Chains A and B, each alone.
Chain A
């Protein structure tokens, strides 16, 4: 499900399946996108932040066009206890690899991988960041 911001429109509530993972996409070239994500985070139930949220930062290939401070992104990940992934959507290889990572995370969050919970995986990812 793709959404441009939260909260999700309520008229589709009955059509929506259970949400297992929320990936917030931040375009590093657009301050507007960071603001939008920060505003949307306020609408997320606290239980999601136990491993079911991640931040996906896109556009990292173009160093000259960075509008968003890296500090702001790290802080976001810290404050919301969620991992931060980086990718460049314009390169097919990286795009595919990132999709595979997200899919793996989704499988864990949905409970399809026995022995690994969303929370344990999330803390694993966080510790490897430091």
Chain B
């Protein structure tokens, strides 16, 4: 077995949390059950990985099998990578039947015709999801298994989720290959990025709980309102306001859990508006400014701002439009024309 393959398998096993190693190796299916029985999965990971490499040696593992283990790892722990969303466009109207074998063939052929030194692996999952792992080399060097890109393509949709690797220069080639293989016309990057792959899917497939603009009349105010649950000695003077905030929040964010995003970034190219007497930045040039919101769970924290008393309700639509517009990177320019204010560019 190639020394580099052995090292790659060893490092991949080390990434897996100890309690999950056995299940993941079983999913991989490359080592037999009897072989797995011989490994003590309670020892330290360093030793487990050595034992696993030993067994792989017996089975003569090659890079293709090692790559499959890597795909399995990334499928179970996708949140370790940052994913961007791309949307493909078709000019024609008829939806062609998706042929997986044809897709794989065309993809490999396109990629390899431009760059011979690549490792390409596919794995299909439920939900019509095709996972593609690509390890990039150069015209003169073998593929670097540690510099990989991942693509998740749901064949019944025009959406592709790409985990950008360090080698951004390969991105146009990758996009081209995807378009050709899937019989689409072109591909564009949506301004939507996150660590949580499932949340990105929730947003573009509209699987999160959305606010529906329904009109429902406000309930009549009763004089003898039942007391709030909790200590009856505490009287909330602003109960109406609190209820309004809850209602507005619910209208905007819906009831269910929010998709998980870590950032929202707003690039401002607007004019600086100041007191004319201040004379600051009087030249008619846009004031370049970048505003970035970051949080372990951005949308949930935005949802809790008004109830926590830290912001007024309703929040700015620039913040609340994120799931509907399916983007978290914005460019804001001056709106020319009748209405003052800022214009969010597509």
Contacts and interface: CB of A to CB of B under 8 A. Distances in A.
B245 to A, nearest CB: 9
Interface stretch (A2-10, A48-56, A93-101): A2-10
A4 B235 contact: no
A8 to B, nearest CB: 5
B237 A8 contact: yes
A12 B274 CA distance: 42
B236 A2 contact: yes
Interface in A8-23: 8-9, 12
B240 interface: yes
A36 B309 CA distance: 10
A65 interface: no
B102 interface: no
Contacts of A9: 237-238, 240
A5 B310 contact: no
B241 A32 contact: no
B132 to A, nearest CB: 43
A4 B240 contact: no
A4 B234 contact: no
A10 to B, nearest CB: 11
B311 A4 contact: no
Nearest to A31: B310
Chain A binding surface, main DSSP class: loop
Q: Which of B237, B240, B242, B309 has the most chain A CB within a 10 Å cutoff? A: B237
Contacts of B238: 2-5, 9
B140 to A, nearest CB: 50
A30 B240 CA distance: 23
Contacts of A30: 310
Nearest to B309: A4
Interface residues of B, number: 11
A9 B241 CA distance: 10
A32 B310 CA distance: 6
A55 B236 CA distance: 19
Contacts of B311: 32
B310 A3 contact: no
A75 interface: no
A33 B310 CA distance: 7
B235 A1 contact: yes
Contacts of A3: 236-238
B242 A4 contact: yes
A2 B234 contact: yes
A117 B204 CA distance: 65
A105 B242 CA distance: 29
A8 B240 CA distance: 12
A95 to B, nearest CB: 15
B249 to A, nearest CB: 15
A121 B324 CA distance: 57
Contacts of B237: 1-4, 8-9, 12
A36 B238 CA distance: 14
Contacts of B235: 1-2
Nearest to A32: B310
Contacts of A1: 234-237
A2 B242 CA distance: 12
A1 B232 CA distance: 11
Contacts of B310: 30, 32-33
A2 B237 CA distance: 6
Nearest to A17: B235
A4 B242 CA distance: 9
A68 B240 CA distance: 29
Nearest to B241: A4
Interface of B: 234-238, 240-242, 309-311
28 contacts: A1-B234, A1-B235, A1-B236, A1-B237, A2-B234, A2-B235, A2-B236, A2-B237, A3-B236, A3-B237, A3-B238, A4-B237, A4-B238, A4-B241, A4-B242, A4-B309, A5-B238, A8-B237, A9-B237, A9-B238, A12-B237, A30-B310, A32-B309, A32-B310, A32-B311, A33-B309, A33-B310, A36-B309
Given A3-B237, A32-B310, A33-B309, 16 more contacts: A1-B234, A1-B235, A1-B236, A1-B237, A2-B234, A2-B237, A3-B236, A3-B238, A4-B238, A4-B309, A5-B238, A8-B237, A9-B237, A32-B309, A32-B311, A36-B309
